[in-house]
Amino acid sequence: MQPLQQLVQQIINGLVIGSVYSLVALGYTMVFGILGFINFAHGDVFMIGTFFGLVLLGTGHFNFTAALIGAALLTGIAGVAIEVVAYRPVRRFGKGFEDTMLVSAIGVSIFLETLAQIIWGTETHALNSGIHSVDFQFWGLNVSSIQILILVTGVVLMVVLHLFVTRTVTGAAMRATAQNMLAARLMGIGVNRIIAITFAIGSVMAAVGGMMVGAYFDAVYPLMGWTAGIKAFTAAVLGGVGSIPGAMVAGVLIGLVETLGSAYISSGFRDGFAFIILILTLLFMPSGLFKARKGEGKV
Amino acid sequence: MRLRWLYWLIGGIILFLIPHVISDEYWMHMIITTGMWMMLAVSMDLIYGCTGQLNLGHAAFAAVGAYITALLMLRLEWSYWLALPLSGLGAAAVSLLVGVPTMRLKGLYLGLATLGFSEIVRLTLLMWASVTRGPMGLPGIPLPTFGSFTFESKTSFYYMILALLLFTVFCVYRIIHSRVGIALMAIRDDEIAARAMGIDSSRYKILVFVVGTFFAGIAGSFYAVYVSFISPDSFKMLDSFMIFAMPILGGIGTLVGPLIGALILYVLPEATRVFAQYRMLWVGILLVVTMVTQPLGILGGLETLAGKFRRPKNGVKAE
C-alpha cells in the first residue's frame, strides 16, 4: 500500500473507532455537567449494554437492529436504576459530596464487572452480529460496511442528541439544571427527572457504542468497559467536561491519535496515547478544547 | 487518661501475640497483606483526607517502590535495608515529578491526572522489557536478611509489616498533630482563606503528596520481598480505586478511619472466599450502601450515632 493510501486508511479506521469513543464520552460529559463527578461506572454500563445485545442475539429471535434497540432500551433502564440506587441518595446530603458519589460509582463499577463475570464468565464471547460485512475497495482503500454503519450511526445519534438538547423543552431543562440546579428547581423543573433522563440518554448511547464495537471486533468480555471507558472520559476531558460538542469532537480526535500513533509510533503503546493526551490536556488546557461558555453549549 | 499507658500496653501485647495465637498460614497471610493495605490507606488519607487532593494513582507509586526494590535486589544484589528506603525515596521523587506540574489542578482534575499517570507507569513497566521483563514480571526476588536471620516465615514478615505500619501511623499522626497539620486542615477546608492567612498552600500540598507517596513506595517495596514476584499487574488501577475508597469508607482525616476501611475492604471479600466468585460483588455493594447511607464513612456514622446519646459538654453540643 502506498504511504498516502495507508495514511488515509488509518484515518478512516481512526474515525470509526473515534465515533464510538464519542458516543461513550457523551455519557460522561453530560453527567459531569450536571452532577460534577465522573461516573466511573459508565464504562461498565457500556459493557453491560453489549452483553444485553449478546443475550438478545443469542435467543435467535432478534436480528441485529432489533437487538440493538432492545439492548439500548434495557441499558437505559439500567442506567436510570444505577442513578436512583447509587447516586440520588447521596445528593440528599447536599453539596460537596462529589467524592462520595465517586466512591459509590467505583462500587457500582466493581459490582457490574463481577456480576458480568459471574453470569457470562471471564472469557471473550463472539457477538455473532449476523451482519454480512462487505468490503468496499477503491483507490487501494478498504472500507467495510460495518465501518460505514458505525460512522453513520454515530453521526446520526450525535446530531439527534444535539437537536434534542438545543431545540426541545426537555433539552432546555437539562441545560438549566447543568447551569444551576437550585435555580432550575425553583423554576419548577423536576431536577431528579432531568437527571434520570440524562442517565438514560448516556446509557443508551453507551449501549449503542458497545454494540458497534462488539460487531466491529466481534468480541464481548466483562472487562471491555475499562479501556473504552477510560478513553471515552479522556475524550470528555479533552472536549471540556460538560460540553456535548466537545465530547463529540474529542472522541473522534482520540480515535485518530490512537490509530495513527499505533500505526506510526508504537503499536504496543496503543492504549497509552489516550493517557498522554489526558495528562497534556489537564496540564495545558484543563478546561478542554470547547470551553463551555456560561449558559451555552454546556449541558 | 491515667490508664492510657495500660491501653497501649494491652494493644501492644495483642499485636505482639497475634502470630503466636494464629497458626493458620492463610490467615497470617491475610493479616500481613491487610497491614500493607493499611499502610497504603493511611498514606492515602494523609494526601486526600488532610489536604483534599484527589489521588487516584496511589497503587502506581507502590508499583514504583516495588520495582525499585526488585531491580536493586535482583540486578545489583543490594541489601533489602538499602533498597527499602530507596524505594520510598524513589516513589517520592516520582511524585515530585508528577506533583509539581499538576499541583495547580484541583479536585477531580488532579484525580484524573494521577489516574492517567498511574496508567502510564503501568504501560512503561510493560513496554520497558529490557529492564522490567515486561508482562512476565520479576520473579525470585530474594528474601531480606538481617545478619544471619532470614525473613522467611509468616511471623517474621508479620513483625516487619507491623513495624512499617506503626512507623507510618506514627509519622502521619505527628504530621497531623503539628503546626503543619493545622495548616493542612486550613487548606482542606478553604484553600483561599488559608492562603490569605499566609499559608503557602502549594508547598504544603506538595510536601504531603511527597510524604504520602513515600510510604506508598515503602509498602510496595515490602510487597516485592514478601510475595517475591511482581509484574505490572500487581498494582492495578482497581487497586488505586480501592486505596482511595478505604479512607472514605472508614472516615477521612481520622487516622483510625483508613485502618478500618482497609480492614473491611480487604478482609470482607477474603472472608467470603467460600463464594470466591462473589467476593468482589460484596465489595461493590458495601461501597454503594455505605456511601448512600454514611457519606462521612463508618467512623463519621458512629460519631453521629454517639452524638445522639452523648450529653452535651458544658451545655454546648459538640459538632
**Interface probe, candidates A88, A110, A230, A283, chain B, greatest B C-beta count within 10 A:** A110
The minimal CB distance from B295 to the residues A93, A106, A278 is found for A93
Q: Which has the closest alpha carbon to A37: A84, A77, A109, A87?
A: A87
- Which chain B residue has the Cα nearest residue A90? B292
- Which chain B residue has the Cα nearest residue A270? B123
Backbone angles phi, psi at B24, to 5 degrees: -65, 120
Q: Alpha carbon of A91 to those of A188, B153, B188, B281: distances in Å?
A: 18, 49, 21, 24
The minimal CB distance from B248 to the residues A37, A103, A271 is found for A103
The tens digit of pLDDT for each residue in A259-283 reads 888 888 877 777 788 888 888 888 8
DSSP 3-state assignment of A143?
A: strand
Q: Which has the closest alpha carbon to A250: A229, A260, A235?
A: A235
How many domains is chain B built from? 1
Cell of B285: 455493594
Q: Taking the CB of residue B316, how many other CB atoms lie within 10 A of it?
A: 7
- Residue B280 domain-assigned? no
Report the b/e string of B247-270 with b at 16+ CB within 10 A.
bbbbbbbbbebbbbbbbbbbbebe
Give A-chain residues touching B242 at CB under 8 angstroms.
Answer: 106
CB within 8 Å: A107 and B244: no
Q: For residues B57 and B124, what is the distance between their CA atoms, to the nearest angstrom?
A: 15
The answer to whether B113 contacts chain A (CB < 8 Å) is: yes
The tens digit of pLDDT for each residue in A14-47 reads 999 999 999 899 888 888 888 888 888 999 999 9
Cell of A239: 472536549
DSSP category for residue B255? S
Terminal-residue alpha carbon distance, chain A:
44
The answer to whether B116 contacts chain A (CB < 8 Å) is: yes
What pLDDT, on the 0 to 100 scale, is given for residue A296? 42
DSSP 3-state assignment of A135?
A: strand
What pLDDT, on the 0 to 100 scale, is given for residue A80? 94
Q: For residues A72 and A200, what is the distance between their CA atoms, to the nearest angstrom?
A: 9
Terminal-residue alpha carbon distance, chain B:
22
Task: Give the gap in angstroms from C-alpha A212 to the nearest C-alpha of chain B.
Answer: 26
Q: Which has the closest alpha carbon to B8: B169, B140, B133?
A: B169
Task: Give the gap in angstroms from C-alpha B227 to the nearest C-alpha of chain A.
Answer: 25
- Contact between B136 and B258 under an 8 Å Cβ cutoff? The reply is no
Task: Give the gap in angstroms from C-alpha A38 to the nearest C-alpha of chain B.
Answer: 8
- Predicted complex ipTM exceeds 0.85: no
The answer to whether B193 contacts chain A (CB < 8 Å) is: no
Q: For residues B184 and B47, what is the distance between their CA atoms, to the nearest angstrom?
A: 10
Percent helix / strand / coil, chain A, rounded to 5: 75, 5, 25
The minimal CB distance from A89 to the residues B102, B277, B292 is found for B292
Q: For residues B252 and B245, what is the distance between their CA atoms, to the nearest angstrom?
A: 10
Q: Taking the CB of residue B186, how many other CB atoms lie within 10 A of it?
A: 18
What pLDDT, on the 0 to 100 scale, is given for residue B122? 85
Strand ranges in A36-149 using DSSP code E only, listed in sequence order: 135-138, 141-144
Give A-chain residues touching B109 at CB under 8 angstroms.
Answer: 237, 282, 286
The tens digit of pLDDT for each residue in B126-156 reads 888 777 787 778 887 788 877 777 777 878 8
Q: For residues A275 and B213, what is the distance between their CA atoms, to the nearest angstrom?
A: 21
CB within 8 Å: A90 and B295: yes
Q: For residues B95 and B153, what is the distance between their CA atoms, to the nearest angstrom?
A: 33
Q: For residues B13 and B4, what is the distance between their CA atoms, to the nearest angstrom?
A: 14
The tens digit of pLDDT for each residue in B14-29 reads 887 777 777 777 888 8
- Contact between A12 and A147 under an 8 Å Cβ cutoff? The reply is yes
**Interface probe, candidates A99, A230, A234, A254, chain B, greatest B C-beta count within 10 A:** A99
Most confident of the ranges A53-67, B18-32, B300-314: A53-67
What pLDDT, on the 0 to 100 scale, is given for residue A77? 94
Whether A81 shows a pLDDT value over 90: the answer reads: yes
- Residue B37 domain-assigned? yes
DSSP 3-state assignment of A136?
A: strand
Whether B205 shows a pLDDT value over 50: the answer reads: yes
Whether B174 shows a pLDDT value over 50: the answer reads: yes
The tens digit of pLDDT for each residue in A222-249 reads 888 888 888 888 888 888 877 888 888 8
Q: For residue A187, list its beta bridge partners.
A: none
Backbone angles phi, psi at B12, to 5 degrees: -65, -40
The tens digit of pLDDT for each residue in A137-194 reads 777 778 888 888 888 988 899 889 888 888 998 988 888 888 888 888 888 888 889 9
The residue type at B30: M
The answer to whether B14 contacts chain A (CB < 8 Å) is: no
CB within 8 Å: B288 and A111: yes
Q: For residues A45 and A205, what is the distance between their CA atoms, to the nearest angstrom?
A: 10
Give B-chain residues touching A99 at CB under 8 angstroms.
Answer: 54, 248
Q: For residues B250 and B290, what is the distance between their CA atoms, to the nearest angstrom?
A: 10
The alpha carbon torsion through A184, A187, A188, A192 (nearest 10 deg) reads 0
Q: In whole numbers, what is the pLDDT of chain B averaged over residues?
A: 82
Q: For residues A259 and A20, what is the distance between their CA atoms, to the nearest angstrom?
A: 13
Q: Which has the closest alpha carbon to B294: A122, A89, A116, A62?
A: A89
**Interface probe, candidates A37, A102, A283, chain B, greatest B C-beta count within 10 A:** A102
The residue ranges of every structural domain in chain A are 3-120+143-284
DSSP 3-state assignment of A37?
A: coil
Backbone angles phi, psi at B249, to 5 degrees: -65, -40
Q: Taking the CB of residue B24, how many other CB atoms lie within 10 A of it?
A: 9
Cell of B16: 505482639
- Residue B251 domain-assigned? no
**Dihedral sign computed on CA atoms, order A11, A12, A17, A21:** positive
Q: How many CB pairs under 8 A join A and B?
A: 120
Share of chain A above pLDDT 90, in %: 20
Q: For residues A86 and B102, what is the distance between their CA atoms, to the nearest angstrom?
A: 30
**Distance from CA of residue B89 to its chain's centroid?**
16
DSSP category for residue B1? -
Q: Give the domain extent around B78.
A: 26-237
What pLDDT, on the 0 to 100 scale, is given for residue A133? 74
Task: Give the gap in angstroms from C-alpha A240 to the nearest C-alpha of chain B.
Answer: 11
CATH of domain A3-120+143-284: 1.10.3470
